[in-house]
Amino acid sequence: MLIGGAVILVLVVGLSVWASVSPLSTGVSAQGEVRVEMNRKSVRHKEGGVVRQVLVQEGQHVRAGQPLIIYNDVEARAAHDVLQHEYDSLQAQVARFSAEAQGKTSVDFPPELMSRMADPRVSGLIRDQQVLFTTREQLFQSQNSVLSQRIDQLQSQIEGDQTQVDSADEQIKLTKDEMDGYQILYDKGFAPKPLILRYQRSIADLSGHKGQLLSDIARLKQQQGETRMQMAANRDTRTSQAAEGLRDSQAHIADTAPRLTAADQALDQTVVRAPVDGYVFNLTQFTVGGVTAPGEELMNLVPSNAPIIVEATIKPQDINKIHEGMPAKVRFTGLNSRWHGPLDGKVIMISADKISARASGLQPAGPSASGAGPDSFYRADVRIDPQELTKLAKTTQITPGMPASVMLVAGKRTVMGSLLSPITDTMRGALSDQ
């Protein structure tokens, strides 16, 4: 008995001491929900049109750049494809003309085209330009081959004539030697004059033949020079034609490129993308085939990194107990309380007048004061410190409309003070009446 009494006494004393020194937060409790008006991003489409696909749902989390809605792109794609084909064709022509102008034996098509060889239109353009290059190259080489053979033939004739010239020189030399021998005999009267004249005629004939051969050699060399000039002219013509084609194609590319860029943008704009990471709400488009007007709002996005604002409903009888800058403790009632404690926040705005719950869509916490009406409340916006969100699990997502309980902290008092507060308040009221 004594031991039991002692234990009870110790417990009573211990609880009394704990209740006397343990602090509790005091203040105003309220209900609220996560709101988004302060940070929402309005998503619109400049041109409007016929909706082909709606890729998101209300409340869905999206990443920046993620497609949200796709519009009918038949006209935009047709215009884009025409310009893309024209641009690709010009690029292929530029590659061919460049190869011809530089005298290359093959065409180096740009990597941007080669990477799209799986596209039949692109592979067809490359094949056509390659065939045209090969045909023109073969024609050029064939012409050069004929002219080169002509030069070789002329060279053979020159060499043949030169051989005859050398032979004529040798015959003239031998004939002169023979004539000189007979000339000595003729001078001594031992040889007839007609013999000397016959040798002189032979030398003259040989000299004339030699002159004809030299003339032929000169003519043949001239023909060789003319043939080489024709080869050079063919090469220059090919180069100049390729250079002219290159300039024209590059000029057309300069004209087509900005139009293709505009068509790219027009096609890309048929896909409405998320401007930021965030959550979809107020989605207005649900029907495939629906028509939207230019600039019509399609949905709103709440940025993921935006400060969390809890809009709390304050009972009219509590309005004098709160003020801007007041600290707050927030719990998200939709989450398991075992996994997160209260998050610190601060009151950043208090409505100047009462608000109708029916008009606002919010439900005030608890019964209202007499005369205020059951549907009236004050609004207090509580901003949660972003650093506090790290207390939540990484997989936790705070979404618009999520319910929350809010404690607006007015001060602290002990547990004992809280227990005795009703008694002391009653006594204080009784003394005031006396």
pLDDT at 361 over 70: no
Residue 122: what pLDDT?
93
Residue 393, C-beta contacts closer than 8 angstroms, at least 6 positions apart: 339, 340
CA distance 309 to 389: 12
- Of residues 368 and 253, which shows the higher confidence score? 253
Count other Cβ atoms within 10 Å, centred on residue 300.
20
Residue 431: pLDDT band by 50, 70, 90 thresholds?
very low
- Of residues 407 and 190, which shows the higher confidence score? 407
pLDDT at 424 over 60: no
Read off the tokens for 328. Answer: 């707050």
Mean pLDDT within 244-248: 93
pLDDT at 161 over 50: yes
Per-chain mean pLDDT for the chain: 82
Mean pLDDT within 310-334: 89
Residue 357: what pLDDT?
67
Q: What percent of the chain has pLDDT over 70?
A: 81
Residue 27: what pLDDT?
75
Contact 385/348 with Cβ under 8 angstroms?
Answer: no
Residue 335, Cβ density class (10 Å: 0-12 exposed, 13-18 middle, ≥19 buried): middle
Q: Of the given ranges (1-10, 285-294, 403-412), which has the lowest mean pLDDT?
A: 1-10
Tell me whether the CATH fold assigned to 41-71+270-300 matches the one assigned to 77-268. Answer: no
Q: In what order do the strands lie in the sheet with 61-62?
A: 41-44, 297-303, 278-281, 61-62
May I ask the CATH architecture of the domain 77-268? Up-down Bundle (1.20)
Residue 286: pLDDT band by 50, 70, 90 thresholds?
confident
Tell me the whole-structure pTM to 2 decimals: 0.58
Q: What percent of the chain has pLDDT over 90?
A: 38
Q: Which fold does the domain 41-71+270-300 belong to in CATH?
A: OB fold (Dihydrolipoamide Acetyltransferase, E2P) (2.40.50)
| pLDDT 10s digits, 290-299 | 899 999 999 9
Domain ranges of the chain: 23-38+307-416, 41-71+270-300, 77-268
| pLDDT 10s digits, 116-145 | 999 999 999 999 999 999 999 898 888 889
The amino acid that residue 420 corresponds to is L
Read off the tokens for 356. Answer: 């109708």
Residue 302: what pLDDT?
78
Mean pLDDT within 294-322: 86
| pLDDT 10s digits, 377-388 | 999 999 887 677
Residue 363: what pLDDT?
56
pLDDT at 81 over 90: yes
Instruction: Please provide the DSSP assignment of 49-94 as one string.
Output: EEEEEE---TT-EE-TT-EEEEE--HHHHHHHHHHHHHHHHHHHHH
CA distance 141 to 89: 26
pLDDT at 315 over 50: yes
Residue 372: what pLDDT?
43
Instruction: Please provide the DSSP assignment of 88-132 as one string.
Output: HHHHHHHHHHHHHHTT-SS----HHHHTTTTSHHHHHHHHHHHHH
pLDDT at 362 over 60: no
Mean pLDDT within 296-321: 86
Residue 261: what pLDDT?
93
pLDDT at 369 over 50: no
Residue 231, C-beta contacts closer than 8 angstroms, at least 6 positions apart: 144, 147, 148
Residue 103: what pLDDT?
87
Q: Is 291 strand, coil or helix?
A: strand
Residue 1: pLDDT band by 50, 70, 90 thresholds?
low
Mean pLDDT within 245-256: 94
Residue 364: pLDDT band by 50, 70, 90 thresholds?
low
Residue 428: pLDDT band by 50, 70, 90 thresholds?
very low
Superfamily of domain 23-38+307-416: Efflux pump adaptor protein, beta barrel domain (2.40.30.170)
| pLDDT 10s digits, 107-122 | 999 999 999 999 999 9
Mean pLDDT within 174-203: 86
Residue 432: what pLDDT?
40
Residue 373: pLDDT band by 50, 70, 90 thresholds?
very low
CA-based end-to-end distance of the chain: 47
Residue 310, Cβ density class (10 Å: 0-12 exposed, 13-18 middle, ≥19 buried): buried
CA distance 309 to 414: 30
Q: Cα dist. 200→167, 170, 185, 286 in Å?
A: 18, 15, 15, 119
